[in-house]
C-alpha cells in the first residue's frame, strides 16, 4: 500500500483536472453529442479506482458508485444547471476523501 501523501496528491490532481474540465465548459462534438465534457468519465473512473485501491472497505466506495450515473447535462432547465450540480457532486466526494486522509489517516 502506498502512503497517505500519494493518495492525497493524486486526489488533488484529479480534483484539478475536474475543475479544468468544468472551467473549459461544454464542448459539442458531432461524433459524440452526448459527451459534452470530454475526459470527465475517465477522471471519475480514476478517482473511484484511487479510493478503492486505498481501502476497499471504505464506506465512501458505496457513494462513489453513483458517480458513473452522472450525465453532466449542460442544458439549463427551470434555472437549474445540471452539469454544475454534477461537478459539485464529484468535487465534494474528492474533497471528502482528502478530508478523510487528513483527519483519519496517520
Per-domain boundaries in the chain: 4-100
Nearest to 46 by CA among 16, 21, 11, 80: 11
Q: Does an H or E element contain 77, and which?
A: strand 76-77
What predicted TM-score, i.e. pTM, was given to this entire model?
0.89
Nearest to 22 by CA among 35, 37, 4: 37
Q: What is the mean pLDDT of residues 57-65?
A: 96
C-alpha cell at 105: 489517516
CA distance 62 to 16: 23
C-alpha cell at 66: 453513483
Q: What is the pLDDT of residues 12-46, one digit of tens each?
A: 999 999 999 999 988 887 877 777 888 999 999 99
Amino acid at each position: 500500500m502506498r502512503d497517505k501523501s500519494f493518495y492525497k496528491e493524486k486526489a488533488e490532481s484529479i480534483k484539478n483536472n475536474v475543475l479544468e474540465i468544468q472551467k473549459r465548459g461544454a464542448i459539442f462534438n458531432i461524433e459524440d453529442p452526448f459527451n459534452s465534457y470530454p475526459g470527465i468519465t475517465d477522471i471519475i473512473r480514476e478517482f473511484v479506482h484511487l479510493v478503492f485501491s486505498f481501502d476497499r472497505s471504505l464506506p465512501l466506495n458505496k457513494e462513489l458508485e453513483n458517480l458513473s450515473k452522472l450525465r453532466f447535462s449542460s442544458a439549463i432547465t427551470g434555472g437549474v444547471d445540471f452539469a454544475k450540480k454534477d461537478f459539485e457532486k464529484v468535487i465534494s466526494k474528492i474533497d471528502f476523501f482528502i478530508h478523510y486522509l487528513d483527519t483519519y489517516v496517520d
